[in-house]
């Protein structure tokens, strides 16, 4: 079972995002355990202070190192059974390395993932330097805190755990994931990230005058596969030309 421990000043925030669909079922079937921990529990002053003014001046407040270290150290002590090599301590911040599907695959192999949600104008840099094993950003924009980012990471990683999706094939056919190695078993290497997925249609065949592409009704699987590869490549070229260089298309089935 993969344990996610989220360190946050808003533990109640996480009541919603994980109570539905695949995330809910993954917890019920004990593929994952997700716990949010209140950072203020790890303060010792009577005001339960988690932030302070930045050295060197400037606007805003900075999350203090001490409560974050204490929270993470207590989680590590409580989870000593987890192999060191299979534990990850992630600081969510806009300064982090970009979170990608390849990183999600890597994290899905872990036993314990501790997620530290940044807040205010920043987090004391000693957390990134001496506590976190990595610092991740979910994209080039600034959120009010790391909570939404942590929820994104938990979601993207959980759905990759074998058994989390009812249908293991669909994982291999995701955007960013389909490669020659993807195959119908969904087995693939974390380093292999492709481009965007192809367009999908369902009934009715005609909706407000717009018809489903003829080829998809032909039953000719070889031609359908060719069409999907072309469409996927075209869409990637138009929407995400940055992904083209590492793209080697081979749609499966
Ligand atoms: N905290 C604020 N913005 C963020 C981002 N883009 N990714 C991760 N954590 C964040």
105, 130, 158: which is the final residue of a domain?
158
Q: Whose CA is nearest to atom 7 of ligand 1?
A: 137
pLDDT score of 213 more than 70: yes
Q: Catalogue the long-range contacts made by 40-47 (C-beta closer than 8 Å, 24 or more residues apart).
A: 40/9, 40/67, 41/71, 42/67, 42/68, 42/70, 42/71, 42/74, 43/67
Mean per-residue pLDDT, 105-110: 97
Q: Which of 43, 45, 47, 54 is nearest to 7 (CA)?
A: 43
Residue 80: the pLDDT is 82
If pLDDT is split at 50, 70 and 90, which confidence band does 248 have?
low
Domain total for the chain? 2
Residue 48 reports pLDDT greater than 50: yes
Nearest atom in ligand 1 to the alpha carbon of residue 139 is: 6
User: Residue 203 maps to which CATH number?
Assistant: 1.10.1270.20
In degrees, rounded to 5, the angle at the alpha carbon of residue 91 between the alpha carbons of residues 105 and 192 is: 20
User: Using CA atoms, how far apart are residues 203 and 223, in angstroms rounded to an integer?
Assistant: 20
Q: What is the dihedral of CA 107, 128, 53, 47, to 10 degrees?
A: 60
Q: Is the CB of 149 under 6 A from ligand 1?
A: yes
Is any atom of ligand 1 closer than 6 Å to the C-beta of 153? no
Q: How many helices (H) and strands (E) does the chain have?
A: 7, 9
The residues assigned a catalytic role are: 94, 121, 159, 174
Q: Is the CB of 118 under 6 A from ligand 1?
A: yes
My answer on whether 71 and 105 are in the same domain is yes
Task: For residue 59, give both structure tokens.
Answer: 């606007």
pLDDT tens for 155-204 read 999 999 999 998 765 666 677 874 433 433 333 332 334 789 999 999 99
| Sign of the alpha-carbon dihedral angle for 137, 140, 141, 142 | positive
| CA of residue 149 to ligand 1 center, whole Å | 6
Q: Are residues 97 and 139 in the same domain?
A: yes
Residue % of the chain over a pLDDT of 70:
88
Looking at the structure, tell me whether residues 26 and 72 fall in a common domain: yes
Same domain, residue pair 40 and 124: yes
Q: Which of 158, 177, 197 is the last residue of a domain?
A: 158
Instruction: Compute the distance from residue 66 Cα to the ligand 1 centre, in Å.
Output: 21
Between CA 64 and CA 126 the distance in angstroms is 9
Between the alpha carbon of residue 242 and those of residues 103, 105, 197, the distances in Å are 18, 21, 15
Domain boundary among 158, 178, 202: 158
Show the domain range for 146. Answer: 2-158
Atom of ligand 1 nearest to the CA of 141: 6
CATH of the domain at 84: 3.40.1280.10
Looking at the structure, tell me whether residues 31 and 133 fall in a common domain.
yes
**Is residue 253, in this structure, part of any structural domain at all?**
no
Q: To the nearest whole number, what is the mean pLDDT of the chain? A: 90
Using the mean position of ligand 1's atoms as its centre, give its distance from the Cα of residue 125 in Å: 15
* Co-location of 15 and 110 in the same domain: yes
Regarding the beta carbon of 8 and ligand 1, being less than 6 Å apart is answered no
Residue 163 within a domain:
no
Q: Whose CA is nearest to atom 10 of ligand 1?
A: 93
pLDDT of residue 194: 77
DSSP SS3 for 94:
strand
Hey, which residues does 6 pair with through a beta bridge? 36, 115
- Full-model pTM: 0.89
Residue with the smallest CA separation from ligand 1 atom 9 is 93
The answer to whether residues 136 and 110 belong to one domain is yes
Q: Over the stretch 80-102, which tens digit does the pLDDT of each residue have?
A: 887 777 999 999 999 999 999 99
């Amino acid at each position: 079972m993969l344990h996610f421990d989220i360190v946050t000043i808003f533990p109640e925030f996480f009541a919603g995002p994980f109570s539905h669909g695949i995330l809910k079922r993954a917890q019920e079937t004990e593929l994952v355990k997700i716990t949010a921990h209140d950072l203020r529990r790890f303060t010792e002053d009577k005001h339960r202070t988690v932030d302070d003014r930045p050295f060197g001046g400037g606007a805003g407040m900075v999350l203090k190192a001490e409560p974050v270290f204490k929270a993470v150290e207590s989680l590590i002590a409580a989870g000593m059974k987890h192999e060191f090599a299979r534990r990850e301590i992630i600081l969510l911040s806009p300064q982090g390395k970009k979170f990608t599907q390849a990183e999600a695959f890597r994290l899905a192999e872990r036993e314990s993932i501790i997620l530290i949600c940044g807040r205010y104008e920043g987090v004391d840099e000693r957390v990134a330097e001496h506590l976190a094993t990595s610092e991740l950003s979910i994209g080039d924009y600034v959120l009010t805190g790391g909570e939404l980012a942590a929820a994104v990471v938990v979601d993207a990683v959980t759905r990759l755990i074998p058994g989390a999706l009812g249908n293991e094939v669909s994982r291999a056919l995701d955007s960013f994931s389909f490669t020659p190695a993807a195959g119908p078993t969904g087995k693939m290497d974390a380093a292999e990230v492709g481009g965007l997925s192809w367009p999908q249609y369902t009934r009715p065949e005609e909706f407000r005058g717009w018809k489903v592409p003829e080829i998809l009704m032909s039953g000719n699987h070889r031609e359908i596969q060719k069409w999907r590869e072309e469409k996927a490549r075209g869409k990637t070229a138009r929407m995400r030309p940055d992904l083209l260089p590492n793209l080697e298309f081979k749609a499966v089935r």
